[in-house]
Structure 1
Amino acid sequence: MPGIGYQTLLYLLPHILELPPDVVSLRSVLPAIPTISPHRMRTILTLEAPQVYQVKQSLSERQIDTITIFDEDYPPLLREIDDPPLILYAKGSRQALSGPTLAIVGARRPSNYGRQVAFHLGSDLANIGFTIVSGLARGIDAEAHKGALHRGGKTIAVLGCGVDVIYPSQNKALYHAITKNGLILSEYLPDRQPHPRLFPLRNRMISGLSLGITVVEAALSSGSLNTAKHASEQNRDVFAVPGPISSPVSQGANNLIRDGAIPLTKVDDVLLQYEHLALPLGAQEISVDEQLTRNEKKILEMIENTQATVDQIVRCTSLGVQEVTQSLLNLQLQGKIRQLPGCMYGKVR
């Protein structure tokens, strides 16, 4: 509704139990709330039941779920923060919200070392029962999601745009893989386009959903440090992977360790912090050759002794761009290839 946003809903929240269960009765019983202006009250009173049903139908047709702060499966950790989203929009399996959660974040242009660390951390932590939370950004975020999916584990991608908007577009195949095997979450309305001011708010959701966050690589200006700041304010654990002192993308993570973050050099460092948790058994790794499709085998043969970009693979294999990107994602999830700096792909030896 125009003019009715988060702040107005917050003012309504203490009176929510006074409201009727059906919208039709709203006019006669809406209490006087001094913090809501008469103009906004009149706007609220224009709400009609068909409007509500129309919105619900539209979301259902687009396979978008809503989770309100009053629902039983609203993430309990997220409910604890100072400014929890009142409504979450979701695509995928809500089952991903169950179990212990850890966030992995970092540079959008990481080193090859950073990519490998993020992938293996996501993979190993998912295998022992953690749900991996990240932001679907290029670089460290994407590798962490891929690592979790590689082990058949659960992962949650939190977006700084509408839940149905794929951003960045290069992660389209990964987005769809997560909707099938994990969960996409956003507090923003469907169709909302990404904007720089939305990402810091998204970051407080990533940390709010998680027991702790791990920063793999981060420059001094990295948004990952904003996520770490939110985590500290929310009383979450902050881990950081140490890197070379000469590397610009390690300066942020190294500074976090200097300032008290927990150094993470192996998965056991995480397990030691959460040894009180009853972690479920890990999922099965997907790595058998019989699962390779004809397109995937074709790409593996093409990059057997070389490295190549998506465009080069398209030209050499005569496959379409979408076929190549989907096959590359599948091969990464199966541990057959890895993404290298410069958007190159190479075979894992």
Structure 2
Amino acid sequence: MPLAPGALEPVLRLAIVEGIGPARLSTLMARFGSAERVLAAGAEELGAIPGFGPEFVRRLRAAATDEGLQRARAALQVLRKAGAVSITPADAAYPDAFRTLPDPPYLLFAAGNLELLDTPGVGVVGTRSPTDYGLRAATSLSGGLARAGLTIVSGMAKGIDAAAHAAALDAGGTTVGVLGHGIDRVYPPGNAKLFARVRERGLLITELAPGEEPNAGNFPRRNRLIAALSLGVLVVEMGEKSGAQHTVTYALEQGKEVFAVPGPISSTRSTGTNQLLKDGARLVTSVEDILEELRGVGQGFAAAPAAPEPAASPDVPPPPPPDLSPDEAKVYAALTPDPRHVDDLAGESGLAPSNVLASLLGLELRDLAESLPGKQYRRR
């Protein structure tokens, strides 16, 4: 069970100390064993900890005063107003995935369905400034993964994050938003409605204390939690320098799969994702690509639904839309109402399999093609 208010007060006194952060809080709890012992420690004992300077020690000592108690009680009121609870490693709700981290968070704040912390999930990350192509890809893939029973895990940022969360909810699935700020904050402000939806039908979670504002230093630590809650991480549009790269790095360190959606070679928003593919990330053009890789890694999610028997249709496809690229037009012409394997499409179109897969993703996003199990596709 989450901490009762009386038990939480001593921990909150420490958690809201300016400059403490999750890492220092964990250091203190590991060294002293309880918040009460930290609050009772003297300046000399606290100052002996590496990296704890005189000013920070002074702030820690102030947490033990009546003023520190009142600040903690005010933070408790903020938590209640946000509909949030606290979680420590002693609680059953604490995610098993966090226990194996090199620096597991000591204190978590969450609002929503705590059961989602132990469901199989896929992290979906990418640029905050996506193209229409990136938004369509994130929406299509996240919705499909959610329908297959996977929880979508992301960081509640604008762009790809927001598209992934919304698509999961729109598909009737579940999603977890890992925050880089306090549970009582909404960032960016334009995502206020999405925050309310995720809180109601999914879960918001953070290791940062109530009142903590978003800042650049918080997001890399947040990203390690996104990776930890995921069986694998899917990257949809990432530039050469992107915060999403932190999530990829953490995923690899944790032994998780990394997936990437290919993008146009002319798009700077796909430079990072295309490089990931060169470096060995799994190329994704359909939900089935991810499900095939993750089966056996986690349980509790379904295979992509088997395709129904196709209705009889003429063998000659209708004229392709005029806005297709030359490669997409060739692949579209090779598609039939009956399932065809990628290799067959490559042979008929004369394109390399990688170009066929990239073209198929574009056709899927236009609802002109449908992916089926076993890397098979058919015309819609």
Unaligned stretches of 5+ residues in structure 2: 1-13, 304-380
Please give the root-mean-square deviation of Cα atoms over the aligned residues, in Å: 3.1
Q: Shift of the alpha carbon at 1:158?
A: 1.3
Q: Shift of the alpha carbon at 1:140?
A: 1.0
Q: Shift of the alpha carbon at 1:247?
A: 1.6
Mapped partners of 1:8, 1:105: distance in 2: 27
Q: Shift of the alpha carbon at 1:117?
A: 1.0
Taking structure 1 as the reference length, what is the TM-score of the superposition? 0.70
- Which of these residues, 39, 49, 71, is aligned with residue 35 of structure 1? 49
1:130 aligns with 2:150: yes
Q: Given that residues 128 and 279 in structure 1 are in contact (C-alpha distance below 8 angstroms), is that contact kept between their aligned partners in structure 2?
A: no
Residue by residue, what CA displacement relative to the aligned partner does 1:256-284 show, whole Å, maximum 9, x if unpaired? 011111111211221122211332469xx
Residue by residue, what CA displacement relative to the aligned partner does 1:138-160 show, whole Å, maximum 9, x if unpaired? 11111111110012111011122
Residue by residue, what CA displacement relative to the aligned partner does 1:121-141 show, whole Å, maximum 9, x if unpaired? 111111111110111111111
Matches within 5 A, 1:238-277: 238-276=258-296, 277=298
Secondary structure of residue in 2 paired with 1:63: coil
- Which of these residues, 85, 95, 99, is aligned with residue 75 of structure 1? 95
Secondary structure of residue in 1 paired with 2:29: helix
Matched length: 279
Q: Given that residues 132 and 148 in structure 1 are in contact (C-alpha distance below 8 angstroms), is that contact kept between their aligned partners in structure 2?
A: yes
Secondary structure of residue in 1 paired with 2:122: strand
Residue by residue, what CA displacement relative to the aligned partner does 1:62-94 show, whole Å, maximum 9, x if unpaired? 312111122221111122222222211112221
- Which of these residues, 293, 300, 313, is aligned with residue 279 of structure 1? 300
Match of 1:13 in 2: 29
Residue by residue, what CA displacement relative to the aligned partner does 1:24-65 show, whole Å, maximum 9, x if unpaired? 99859xxx7863879568556558877766644542243121
Residue by residue, what CA displacement relative to the aligned partner does 1:283-330 show, whole Å, maximum 9, x if unpaired? xxxxxxxxxxxxxxxxxxxxxxxxxxxxxxxxxxxxxxxxxxxxxxxx
Residue by residue, what CA displacement relative to the aligned partner does 1:188-214 show, whole Å, maximum 9, x if unpaired? 122222222222222222112212110
Match of 1:217 in 2: 237
Q: Which amino acid aligns with 1:13?
A: M
Q: Given that residues 158 and 186 in structure 1 are in contact (C-alpha distance below 8 angstroms), is that contact kept between their aligned partners in structure 2?
A: yes
Secondary structure of residue in 2 paired with 1:229: helix
Secondary structure of residue in 2 paired with 1:271: helix
Mapped partners of 1:120, 1:215: distance in 2: 13
1:100 aligns with 2:120: yes
Q: Given that residues 239 and 261 in structure 1 are in contact (C-alpha distance below 8 angstroms), is that contact kept between their aligned partners in structure 2?
A: yes
Q: Which amino acid aligns with 2:142?
A: G
Match of 2:79 in 1: 59
Mapped partners of 1:55, 1:165: distance in 2: 13
Secondary structure of residue in 2 paired with 1:221: coil
1:187 aligns with 2:207: yes
Unaligned stretches of 5+ residues in structure 1: 283-349
- Evaluate the alpha carbon distance shift between residue 219 and residue 60 of structure 1 in structure 2; reply closer, same or farther with a 3 A threshold: same
Q: Shift of the alpha carbon at 1:98?
A: 2.7
Secondary structure of residue in 1 paired with 2:211: coil
